[in-house]
Structure 1
Amino acid sequence: MDDGLREGRAVMNQEDFDEKYGYHPPISTTCHRAKKAARKCIDPCTSGRKFLKAVTGCVPILEWLPKYNFKGYLVRDIIGGLTTGIMHVPQGIAYSVLSGVAPVYGLYSSFFPVLFYMIFGTSRHTSIVVALMSGIANEQIMSKYVTTTNSTMNATEDTTLTPIQVASTLTFALGMIQFATGLLRLEFLTDYFSDQLVAGFTTGAACHVFTAQLDDIFGLTVPKVSGPGYIFRVSLITSVVFDISQFTEIDFQRIYDIIIRIPHANVCTVITSAIGIAFLYVGKDFISPFVNKRSPVKIPIPYELILVGSFVLIMFAAISYLLNLNERYGMIIVGDIPAGVPEPQLPNISILSDCLIGAAGIAAVTIAVHISMAKMLAKKMKYKIDARQELYALGLSAMLGGLFPIYPVSTALGRTMVNVESGSKTQLSSLFSCLLLLTIILWLGPLLETLPMWVWFIAFISTVAISVVEGLAISIAVALLTIIFRSQWPKSATLARIPDTNDFKDPRKYTAALPCPNICIFRFDSALLFVNAERFKRSITEAMSVWELDSNVVANNGNPPDKNYLIIDCSCIAFIDYTGATALKEVANDARSRHVELFLAATTANVRQSLEVSGFFSTVSKKYFFPTISDAFHFATANR
């Protein structure tokens, strides 16, 4: 059995194995890659079928719409679209106010990008809304060009450059970055956004969103603040110590600031807020489950959200109008919402460079959240998405949307889940959502002018998360650090053979594995790079020292009684750089000084090619490379 392999072939080294089975080395020259890229570009034009496939790949709606299952999907998509559309109204207004533009622009932002994404996107369920983090970028650009501060809710602008012009140009710039990310094939970067990273990031972001809205639900006027730790940071101590005269002007921040102002809360706003929250709570946790238990048709979310959305919005807008809550009790209302669709116009090119800088951070966040959400839903619903096409879809939606007065958009996590739970099956649900919004934009917009501001907060808070640049940056940094640490301090093991098999396992985990006195088998569980090359050498030195001591392979006079072999299992070494190859040379020379012959087993073709480029074969001959550990082990056993 030791003279051959249990697989039924003779023992071979890597060269013999490659020659017998027709190995072709990989071609990776620049010319070859250029030809391959050119063929890929020309290939769609070689036949009508390939051209049609390329077109449907760029415009996915042309592929899935002709195959649409009207009988099975249409009713569900209508329900899901109308349900999501109802949420678009208060949340669109909410996000626009939070981002610093007039409420009507939130409706536009919930209409145009959604319509464009339906055409170009591959995710069947994602829903997008105004990106909150873009408000900061908008303010920074405005402060550079405008010296006066203008109200974004009701006041007119005194300058030629208005906040919505900045917003639409920022949207266009965001689309350019997202589209360029797809062109540069950078979608692989989204693989670094693990489920744990996204979950922790969005939960933390939800805390920022919640605290940002506490002042509105109590009807308080609290200065908006930002920066790291703004939720908990209080400047009381430092202000008192350095300037006691400014105690009354201290800029208390967020939670503390809200707590000390609660006695001044607007009673009418608090009461109506409590009624709205109670209504939502009873509807979600009691009415819907009660109805669904006794209904033969299970429609959990549509019933609840249509009831809450239509009843709360229409009823309280009417009450606010009839009772004149704005003037009588000082309750903040949404304000002017004009009817009609805006005309498209080109973005302001003069500020495009500044907008590109501001859009870079927004692009990172929106791409991270959108791709993560799309992948999660695709896995849950058992369909596939194209990450690169998603980048194109985001970019085109933003660039085409930037021709209208809208704000940068991002995936709304909570509303996307509502879309899923409402029963939506395809992006056609977005069409019905947009039709509802179009009706409001054209005819019903003015009816929402007296809507109390707390209503959009209640609808808004149902979206459990939105991203912030700082949180995402920290999350990504932590994720990258874990990858770096795992690469820099990988695990390794000395292997032994399980008798009567060709399996080699760690004897610390498998008691049946028995070491061979003259053969040391070492496995390194990582790519061999400059960051772990020293650890690789140190680990092998330690393994060989223990092996020599345990096996007593060296006689007292220093002459080995038999030939000794070091077999490195390279199956886990997917990549090796120049420093790693140099470290491997040093290991080979060190082994030779110990009268130990080095064999490399299960190396990939790419690793062997990298070793050849680095000149490694001048140190270790190709005949000492083996396709499997078994080949190397049996060869060493036969030549002891």
Structure 2
Amino acid sequence: MAILRVEFLASYLSDQLVNGFCTGAAVHVVGVQLGKLLQLNLGQVGGPGYLYIVRIFDFLLNFFFKIFSPFTQQIFFNLIQKLPQVNLIVLFLSIFGFAFLYLGKDVFSPKFGYLIPFVIPFELLLVILATAVSSFANLRDNFNVTVLNFVPTGLPEARLPRLDLLPYVFGDALEIAFVSVALHLSMCKVLIEEWELYALGLVDSLSSFFTAYPVTSVLGRSMLNVECGAKTQFSGLITGLLLLVVILWLGPILSSLPVCILAVIIIFSMKCAFEKIPREFLHLWRVSKIDFLIWIVTIFATILLNVMQGLALAVTFALLTTIFRIQWPRWHLLSNLTGTENYRDSGRYKRFTPFGHGIKIFRFDAPLLFTNVDHFAKSAITAILTESPSIPINNNNITINGSSCDKNLFKISGTRKSDKIKKFDLNTHSLLERRIKSSGVKSLIVDCTGFTFVDYTSINALADLYHQLCELNINVLFAGAKAPVRDMLESCNFFNSVPKEQFYPTIHDAVLAASNKKKWQKRRRGFHSELSLKKISGGGGGGIQDDTNSLCVGENELYQWSFKQSTDTHIIIKEENEEEEEEEEREENLFVVEFGLGTLENLNNSEENK
């Protein structure tokens, strides 16, 4: 895994998933140790749901989980069946072991531990005491108590692994590798995942020459190490040296140790894993419901299924929650914080400055992808219809220097010939169209800072939304788009249908543009039209009086019309030609209309332009 550079897989193990996995694994550890604790032969069990208590789950799991490994027995059900066979001496030793550890670690140490300059290893004292009692009373022969019996001494000889068994154990080896890595990374403080994988791989490769078990941070032993007062990795060196002494010389002394005492030590070390369940439950429920679901699903998936299958299901569920969060993210309407150029969520702040002019600032907190583009469009429409601190503007009632703007009305009419831009279906959305028009919104500013990346589908949908809102006389501006997002828009020819002038570096710049502190433009493409003007009085030098009340626009030319404000009651019209293309392929005109007051000038007197 380290050579293939898959250490990034560790990032899929979130804290909630790791905590739930450790709790579920602790239940498995307790279930495995129950037979040794009471000296009962519960059989070798495995497969999904083998920890269920009631027999009815046997049928249900056999029916629903046939795709997984089969199972025939259940630990807890077998335990209930064989309780009458419990050895009373073993039961007494187990109870004594739990009482000894509880009184020593939970009663004596908290009250009197500060009087002793070192941590008392109560587990080691229990092992010594139980071994002495078992050896003195000969519990194995007199009371049929299972003990360790033969403990081999010395190190095994090194030999090559049997590669001929690889086809038979390959699947299990992969499962063991993933579970061991997950356990290790979940129980240690990782600085660099790649080093951890190299270390595990190197140790496991060397241990294969000595027929040793795979190495990982085992839950029970790690908990036991913490319970004994270990603080640093140096404790592993001490443990290794003591274990080496036992393997080389002290093995026969531990041959009289009852197995139930080892089970007591392991189960008691799981106590901290179960004690944090109520605390974790309340904390995650209060902080995040999604993280709470990840934790709950991981616990039950690990308990009801095998460890490997539970881990796989938990990771899959965690990834699905990420997809759901991206598909249905939060969106906000922004307002200007008083005295600043910052724009924040309107619902979180009380002191803000209304910027007026029918402006709405909309932010979508997620990457724009094919999975959430429909939600984005619906959210944008909802934002337009939502009440906000902005002050709508009514163009019919605006006056400048005592002159009403309705004197300078322009009517653009004609037949659309280009199908490049998707039109808003007024028959289907007539009610929605009326609601949008009655909302008083004239400009929608899309805060693009939340778009970490976009895809091709979302870019097309963004262009469609832009033109649909333009059909409803709503000017759409974009602010704060990141460079990778702009590059993606450029590569997808987005700016062929949406002008770059609609993009601004900051929200404040877009607000200034939408508030007529910068020029407001309305663009329409792909239609042949007539531009009609209301008749005006007076005249301007070098200009043309509008005696015919209309000007005919050529079909194969591109004009730009602009209005420059002044104190006169006339209108200025400028004409600019862009590069001509083939007449058969180009049937579009570009109009930029600005409402204002001025004089009529710079217009050719040719009949064609009339």
Question: 1:551 is paired with a residue of what secondary structure?
Answer: coil
**2:334 paired residue among 495, 505, 517:** 495
Contact 2:220–2:269 (Cα < 8 Å) also in 1:
yes
- One-letter amino acid of the structure 2 residue matched with residue 452 of structure 1: P
Q: Which runs of structure 2 are paired with 1:343-362 in the superposition (5 Å)? A: 343-362=157-176
Contact 2:338–2:351 (Cα < 8 Å) also in 1:
yes
**Matched residues in 2 for 1:445 and 1:416: separation?**
22
Q: CA deviation at 1:586?
A: 1.8
Corresponding residue number in structure 2 for 1:273: 94
Tell me: CA distance 1:635–1:476, structure 2 relative to 1, closer, same or farther (3 Å): same
Question: 1:388 is paired with a residue of what secondary structure?
Answer: helix
More helix by share: 1
Corresponding residue number in structure 2 for 1:204: 24
**Matched residues in 2 for 1:482 and 1:492: separation?**
18
Corresponding residue number in structure 2 for 1:294: 115
Q: What is the TM-score of this pair, normalised by structure 2?
A: 0.64
Contact 1:234–1:252 (Cα < 8 Å) also in 2:
no
**Matched residues in 2 for 1:189 and 1:507: separation?**
38
Question: Is 2:184 the partner of 1:370?
Answer: yes
Q: CA deviation at 1:341?
A: 0.8
Question: Is 2:195 the partner of 1:195?
Answer: no
Q: Residue by residue, what CA displacement relative to the aligned partner does 1:316-373 show, whole Å, maximum 9, x if unpaired?
A: 3343344332233222222322111112222221222443322323333322232232
Question: Is 2:378 the partner of 1:538?
Answer: yes
Tell me: CA distance 1:346–1:591, structure 2 relative to 1, closer, same or farther (3 Å): farther
Corresponding residue number in structure 1 for 2:557: none
Question: Is 2:392 the partner of 1:551?
Answer: yes
Tell me: CA distance 1:484–1:446, structure 2 relative to 1, closer, same or farther (3 Å): same
**Matched residues in 2 for 1:532 and 1:400: separation?**
50
Corresponding residue number in structure 2 for 1:590: 468
Contact 1:412–1:463 (Cα < 8 Å) also in 2:
no
Corresponding residue number in structure 2 for 1:568: 446
Corresponding residue number in structure 1 for 2:361: 521
**Matched residues in 1 for 2:77 and 2:394: separation?**
72
**Matched residues in 2 for 1:322 and 1:395: separation?**
44
Q: Which runs of structure 2 are paired with 1:6-405 in the superposition (5 Å)? A: 180=1, 182-235=2-55, 253-295=74-116, 297=117, 299=118, 302-303=119-120, 305=121, 307-309=122-124, 311-375=125-189, 385-405=191-211
- One-letter amino acid of the structure 2 residue matched with residue 571 of structure 1: T
Which piece of structure 1 moves more, 345-354 or 545-554?
Answer: 545-554
Q: CA deviation at 1:629?
A: 0.9
**2:264 paired residue among 458, 476, 489:** 458
Q: CA deviation at 1:442?
A: 1.1
Tell me: CA distance 1:313–1:504, structure 2 relative to 1, closer, same or farther (3 Å): same
Provide the aligned length of Structure 1 versus Structure 2: 435
Question: 2:475 is paired with a residue of what secondary structure?
Answer: strand
- One-letter amino acid of the structure 2 residue matched with residue 528 of structure 1: L
- One-letter amino acid of the structure 2 residue matched with residue 279 of structure 1: F
Tell me: CA distance 1:426–1:287, structure 2 relative to 1, closer, same or farther (3 Å): closer
Contact 2:366–2:451 (Cα < 8 Å) also in 1:
yes
Corresponding residue number in structure 1 for 2:289: none
**Matched residues in 2 for 1:510 and 1:448: separation?**
69
Question: Is 2:324 the partner of 1:485?
Answer: yes
Corresponding residue number in structure 2 for 1:18: none
Which piece of structure 1 moves more, 386-395 or 484-493?
Answer: 386-395
Contact 2:504–2:510 (Cα < 8 Å) also in 1:
yes
Corresponding residue number in structure 2 for 1:621: 499
Aligned-residue sequence identity (percent) comes to 37
Question: Is 2:286 the partner of 1:445?
Answer: no
Corresponding residue number in structure 2 for 1:606: 484
Contact 1:236–1:252 (Cα < 8 Å) also in 2:
no
Which piece of structure 1 moves more, 414-423 or 438-447?
Answer: 414-423
Question: 2:156 is paired with a residue of what secondary structure?
Answer: coil
Tell me: CA distance 1:280–1:521, structure 2 relative to 1, closer, same or farther (3 Å): same
Contact 2:332–2:346 (Cα < 8 Å) also in 1:
no
Unpaired segments ≥5 residues, structure 2? 60-70, 274-298, 397-405, 413-436, 521-610
Q: Residue by residue, what CA displacement relative to the aligned partner does 1:403-429 show, whole Å, maximum 9, x if unpaired?
A: 221112321345435545766564333
Tell me: CA distance 1:265–1:418, structure 2 relative to 1, closer, same or farther (3 Å): closer
Contact 1:205–1:471 (Cα < 8 Å) also in 2:
no
Corresponding residue number in structure 2 for 1:26: none
**Matched residues in 1 for 2:223 and 2:85: separation?**
37
Q: CA deviation at 1:212?
A: 2.5
Tell me: CA distance 1:289–1:500, structure 2 relative to 1, closer, same or farther (3 Å): closer
Contact 2:203–2:215 (Cα < 8 Å) also in 1:
no
Contact 1:273–1:454 (Cα < 8 Å) also in 2:
yes
Q: Which runs of 4+ in 1 moved over 6 A?
A: 236-239, 547-550, 554-563
Corresponding residue number in structure 2 for 1:85: none
**Matched residues in 1 for 2:243 and 2:57: separation?**
49
Tell me: CA distance 1:610–1:226, structure 2 relative to 1, closer, same or farther (3 Å): same
Contact 2:204–2:214 (Cα < 8 Å) also in 1:
yes
Q: CA deviation at 1:439?
A: 1.0
Q: CA deviation at 1:536?
A: 0.8
Tell me: CA distance 1:547–1:354, structure 2 relative to 1, closer, same or farther (3 Å): farther
Corresponding residue number in structure 2 for 1:473: 312
Q: CA deviation at 1:553?
A: 5.7
Greater length-normalized contact order (CA 8 Å, ≥ 6 residues apart):
1
- One-letter amino acid of the structure 1 residue matched with residue 308 of structure 2: V
Question: 2:369 is paired with a residue of what secondary structure?
Answer: coil
Corresponding residue number in structure 2 for 1:17: none
**Matched residues in 1 for 2:58 and 2:153: separation?**
50
Contact 1:526–1:572 (Cα < 8 Å) also in 2:
yes
Question: 1:588 is paired with a residue of what secondary structure?
Answer: helix
Contact 1:276–1:458 (Cα < 8 Å) also in 2:
yes
**Matched residues in 2 for 1:368 and 1:269: separation?**
35
- One-letter amino acid of the structure 2 residue matched with residue 445 of structure 1: G
Contact 2:223–2:269 (Cα < 8 Å) also in 1:
no
**1:504 paired residue among 340, 343, 364:** 343
**Matched residues in 1 for 2:214 and 2:268: separation?**
20
- One-letter amino acid of the structure 1 residue matched with residue 316 of structure 2: A
Contact 1:283–1:308 (Cα < 8 Å) also in 2:
no
Query: How big is the alpha-carbon RMSD for the aligned residues of Structure 1 and Structure 2?
Result: 3.3
**Matched residues in 2 for 1:237 and 1:532: separation?**
40
Tell me: CA distance 1:453–1:585, structure 2 relative to 1, closer, same or farther (3 Å): same
Tell me: CA distance 1:563–1:439, structure 2 relative to 1, closer, same or farther (3 Å): closer
**Matched residues in 1 for 2:395 and 2:216: separation?**
67
Tell me: CA distance 1:270–1:450, structure 2 relative to 1, closer, same or farther (3 Å): same
Q: Residue by residue, what CA displacement relative to the aligned partner does 1:12-51 show, whole Å, maximum 9, x if unpaired?
A: xxxxxxxxxxxxxxxxxxxxxxxxxxxxxxxxxxxxxxxx
Question: 2:450 is paired with a residue of what secondary structure?
Answer: coil
**Matched residues in 1 for 2:82 and 2:441: separation?**
84
Contact 1:588–1:619 (Cα < 8 Å) also in 2:
no
**Matched residues in 2 for 1:540 and 1:344: separation?**
69
Contact 1:566–1:597 (Cα < 8 Å) also in 2:
yes
Question: 2:478 is paired with a residue of what secondary structure?
Answer: strand
**Matched residues in 1 for 2:327 and 2:224: separation?**
43
- One-letter amino acid of the structure 1 residue matched with residue 322 of structure 2: I
Tell me: CA distance 1:425–1:321, structure 2 relative to 1, closer, same or farther (3 Å): closer
Q: CA deviation at 1:499?
A: 4.5
